[in-house]
Structure 1
Amino acid sequence: MSHKPQIRIPATYMRGGTSKGVFFNLTDLPEAAQVPGPARDALLLRVIGSPDPYGKQIDGMGGATSSTSKTVILSKSTRPDHDVDYLFGQVSIDTAFVDWSGNCGNLTAAVGAFGISAGLVDPGRIPDNGIATVRIWQANIGKTIIAHVPITDGAVQETGDFELDGVTFPAAEVQIEFMEPADDTGGSMFPTGNLVDDLDVPGLGTLKATMINAGIPTIFVNAEDIGYTGTELQEAINGDAKALERFETLRAHGALRMGLISDLKEAAQRQHTPKVAFVAGPKDYVSSSGKPVRAEDVDLLVRALSMGKLHHAMMGTAAVAIGTAAAIPGTLVNLAAGGGERTAVRFGHPSGTLRVGAQARCENGEWTVTKAIMSRSARVLMEGWVRIPADNA
């Protein structure tokens, strides 16, 4: 029996923020994978090493966590006043499923750099030294993102002294602006119309919840209402199968209430969104690296789940939701931070702290957010080709 040889596809393995993934130029993909559909999904699954019943992704580029099971496809933008189109695919680890329902805010930090290096950005927009402003169209959610990429001697500068909790080594700072990140597809930033709702969840009872669509659809609840303090690290939750099951039940009922699904059974096919997060007021704790986080150094604590597990730091899109909700008086996030009006918030997460700013305003009883801002870093880890069996191309 003969077997087809492997094929190779140009690719770049990049870290962006506290995530990493495989980046592709759209035109480098096999023709069948240059359009959405089963062929594209099959290729990305094989590249990452999914589905893997062992949960390790040994036979692929994935790292067996939601933060490292990611793919990005970029192309020169056809939209006016944009440089690149950015499409994100969250690859399930143990099932044959690629979720296209949302953005990855962390990998967004690497999009501008990849776009410049891949020749997708007009050279005339790139200074010899200084900051290149890359205008990104986020195709999953239909939003504009602006990345401010440092340039030295005409090339992307990746090294620097910017430190990001959740990332071991310093690098160059990349400021990201998420423009008008709230939902504008006919729905409200608060899909239920309320800043806080009573959400009935089997096994947990009736919970106070802030459900917001800004950056990424997110369900916020109070830590104490579900038996936590807000200082938890990954092992406290990810090793508790019953806790994870309760969080998934909460996520499914919140998704239904937000109108993201029409039946609870659909939640299993929408793993990337919505996110679930729990909040608490400031407390002292020790981060996963052993670094002390003092209550006086943060405005609140937030823990968030991604793809069914507690995230090791914070998803960039969830940070946008946090910053937006914190800027709106009366949300659970705002109340946990002490209430009142604010344009920025520093929150504690399992790996340390993160600051995010947001500009929100209320007009005719409806809240809108102009933009959310945060700083991340990014760098190329490896570039060349990925190889997969030809049967998967």
Structure 2
Amino acid sequence: MSAAPQIKVPATYIRGGTSKGVFFRLQDLPANCQVAGEPRNQLFMRVIGSPDPYAAHIDGMGGATSSTSKCVILSKSSQPEHDVDYLYGQVSIDKAFVDWSGNCGNLSTAAGAFALHAGLVDPARIPENGICVVRIWQANIHKTIIAHVPVSNGQVQETGDFELDGVTFPAAEIVLEFMNPSDDDGEGSSMFPTGNLVDELDVPEDVVTGGKLKATMISAGIPTVFVNAADIGYTGTELREAINSNPAALARLEAIRIAGALRMGLIKTPAEAATRQHTPKVAFVAPPTDYVSSSGKTIAAKDIDLLVRALSMGKLHHAMMGTAAVAIGTAAAIPGTLVNLAAGGKALESVRFGHPSGTLKVGAAAALVDGQWTVTKAIMSRSARILMEGWVRIPG
């Protein structure tokens, strides 16, 4: 019996923040995958090993979680004053689709480092030793990200002593600046798509008695629906197992996400939510309290400003998505949002929040201009490291 041989495509497997993904240079992809369309989607799904009814990704590079089912394409930038274009695909685990509707903040870190590794940055801009400022155009959401990448002997410095909760080993620190992260030119009319800092969502009775749930809906970093943990029966100290092992809980949280997506104008019917799993995110917040993280480390209430738990692709995230951290930092800086109120209700330029794996600090510069809240940038630190490089093989 004759069979098509496997094809091999140059690829690099990178950890960025608390995520992992398969990175490609645009010019290395097969010709029919260098443009958007079904061939590219099929390639990415087969690389990751999706759709997988066993939800294990045994026959692919994915790790069977939303944090590890990702592919990235980088190319020299088509935009003035930028170094690279960065395109991100979130691959569904058990369904046959790739979600292109948002960014991955964690892999934005790796995008800055990979731009140097892949020879996509002008050598004249790379110091022999010091910090290389990589100007990234995020092609999914049409936003600028500035990555401050450490360089030693002309190469990306990957090792160091920067520790990031949710990542076992230390590495070199990469500072990210998300410039003008609010959605003022996308699907929402402004950073707050409804024009309100707090809305009441219509949700099923099994979500909350009375079917009315307070929510802050914001488009900054990534569209996110924030609700109070206490309103839906949680404390904000939950770890993954408490949520992800409970199908009824996941269904209730998905109902909140759908209600928020409809109110934000991201979907027109509830059925559309099934093909837009990456956005919006749904997160629940609570005032600070002591808890034990997934690593067994005790997080003291005095060391954090608030608690946040967020879902990604239908499951509670083991730490925090980078783009959701931008949304958290931005919402915390604006008095009156549920995030700000959980953090004490005062003006905040940065917050340290508790998540299942530990804590994370994020800063945001927000201002009220002509009656509209705007944010100029959000800042956080992550790290990135190449895990493997060479070729990924895909059945022809």
TM-score above 0.5: yes
| 1:303 aligned partner | 309
Q: Deviations over 1:7-26 (max 9, x none)?
A: 10000000000000000000
* Cα drift, residue 180 of structure 1: 0.2
Residue 126 (structure 2) pairs with residue 126 (structure 1)? yes
Q: Could you list the runs of 5+ residues in structure 2 that have no partner in the other structure?
A: none
Aligned to 1:245: 251
**What CA distance in whole angstroms lies between the structure 2 residues aligned with 1:265 and 1:112?**
36
Aligned mates of 1:167, 1:340 — CA distance in 2: 31
Aligned partners of 1:172, 1:96: CA distance in 2, in Å? 36
1:197 pairs, out of 196, 199, 211, with: 199
Identity %: 76
Counterpart AA for 1:212? I
| Runs of 4+ displaced beyond 2 Å | none
Work out the CA distance in 2 between the residues paired with 1:243 and 1:296. Answer: 29
Separation in 2, partners of 1:161, 1:340: 33
Quote the offset at 1:340 in angstroms: 1.5
Alignment partners' CA distance in 2, 1:229 and 1:303:
10
Task: Name 2:375's counterpart in structure 1.
Answer: 369
Instruction: Give, in whole Å, the separation in 1 of the partners of 2:14 and 2:383.
Output: 11
Q: Displacement of 1:112 after TM fit?
A: 1.1
The secondary structure found in structure 2 opposite 1:317 is helix
Which residue pairs with 2:104 in the alignment?
104
Corresponding position: 1:73 with 2:93: no
In 1, the alpha carbon distance for the partners of 2:185 and 2:270 equals 22
Give the alignment partner of residue 319 of structure 1, picking from 320, 325, 332.
325
Deviation at 1:303, TM superposition (A): 0.1
* Counterpart residue identity of residue 275, structure 1: K
Per-residue CA deviation, residues 194-218 of structure 1 (Å, 9 max, x unaligned), is 0000111112221110000000000
CA distance in 1 between counterparts of 2:145 and 2:96 reads 30
Q: Which letter maps to 2:337? A: T
- Amino acid of the residue matched to residue 192 of structure 1? T
Counterpart secondary structure, 2:260: helix
Alignment of 1:19-168 (within 5 A): 19-168=19-168
Aligned length: 390
- Residue 52 of structure 2 aligns with an amino acid whose one-letter code is D
Partners of 1:162 and 1:31 lie apart in 2 by 39
Encode CA deviations 1:15-58: one digit per residue, 9 max, x unaligned.
00000000000000000000000000000000000000000010
CA distance in 1, matches of 2:220, 2:247: 29
Q: What is the CA deviation profile of residues 100-151 of structure 1, one whole-angstrom value per residue up to 9, with x for unaligned ones?
A: 0000000011111101111100001100000000000000000000000000
Is 2:370 aligned against 1:386? no
Give the Cα–Cα distance (whole angstroms) in 2 for the partners of residues 40 and 78 of structure 1: 20
Specify the alignment match of 1:9 in structure 2.
Answer: 9
Residue 249 of structure 1: CA displacement? 0.9
Letter in 1 for 2:141: I
Q: What residue identity is the alignment partner of 2:34?
A: Q
* Counterpart residue number, 2:346: 340
Amino acid at match of 1:191: P
CA distance in 1, matches of 2:220, 2:165: 23
CA drift at 1:264: 1.0
RMSD of the alignment, in Å?
0.5
Q: Of 215, 228, 232, which residue of structure 2 is paired with 1:226?
A: 232
CA–CA separation in structure 1 for the residues paired with 2:220 and 2:233: 26
Deviation of 1:364 (Å): 1.2
Q: Work out the CA distance in 1 between the residues paired with 2:80 and 2:125.
A: 15
CA distance in 2, matches of 1:352, 1:127: 34
